[in-house]
Amino acid sequence: MITINATVRDVKDQGKGASRRLRAKNKFPAVVYGGTEQAISIVLEQDVITNLESKPGFYGEPLTLMIDDKANNVKIQAVQRHPFKPKFTHIDFMRVYTQ
C-alpha cells in the first residue's frame, strides 16, 4: 500500500490567493472527505505525488494518507491538473473503510 504524508491546511490559508502561493512553493491543495468525519483541507508536495503517480495502483487501490500522524485509508476521487505543465493543481480523496 502506498503511503502519502500530508499536512492540514490552516483555515486562514484557504482560497485562491493562498492556493496560488502554495503552488509557487511546489505544493498544492487537496481535500479528504467521506464517512462520518468532517472534510479536511490538506497540503501535498508536488514532487512526491508526481513520483508516486507512476506506481501501479496509485489511482485504483486504497492509499494510506498520514495527516498529522493519523492514518486515513483513502482512494483518489478526482484529480485536477495544470493545462499544459505536468503538475497537479488539486486532488480529492474519498475515505475508504476496510473491514
Confidence label for 97 from pLDDT (cuts 50, 70 and 90): confident
Q: Specify the DSSP class assigned to residue 72.
A: E
**Do residues 80 and 88 lie in contact, with contact meaning Cβ atoms separated by under 8 Å?**
yes
CATH of the domain at 61: 2.40.240.10
Residue-wise pLDDT tens digits, 18-51:
999 999 999 999 999 998 899 999 999 999 999 9
Domain that holds residue 84: 3-95
3-class SS of residue 30: strand
Domain count, the chain: 1
| Interatomic CA distance for residues 79 and 98, integer angstroms | 23
Mean pLDDT, the chain, whole residue set: 92
- Give per-residue burial for 1-14: e unless 16+ CB within 10 Å, then b: eeebebeebeeeee
